[in-house]
Structure 1
Amino acid sequence: MTPTVTGAVIAGALAVCWVAFGFWAFVLVALATLVGAGIGWIVDGRVDVRAIADALRGRRSSS
């Protein structure tokens, strides 16, 4: 599935959620989707958690 199709499916699901259950359910589902995507990026290795932790602690990067 291409990123465009994936984005369209997620947007459609969020729209249905908003219409069926209201704004706050939409917000909850959107946040859960973002958390799930973040976990997926970490598992795939796209996000370097150690670099983020170092940046939050104020340590400089290697550049």
Structure 2
Amino acid sequence: VHESAVDLAETLVRLIPSAEMVRYAKGGGEACTVAVRIARGVTNRDKVLFCGYHGWHDW
């Protein structure tokens, strides 16, 4: 782990009162997957509600 990644994680934990840990992700898809897994584990719920918009085209 690079030293700057550790420094940033420590800063985030210090600045965000509810944050106890930091996990880095390579992209948005991985970050969303981790967030959903954490939410499911904390709430003990199996279902996830999703609503999204992926743009508009005139063709």
Common fold: TM-score over 0.5: no
Q: Please tell me the TM-score bracket, short chain as reference.
A: 0.3 to 0.5
Normalised to the residue count of structure 2, the TM-score between the two structures is 0.40
Task: Give the alignment's TM-score, normalised by structure 1.
Answer: 0.37
Between structures 1 and 2, the one with greater helix share = 1
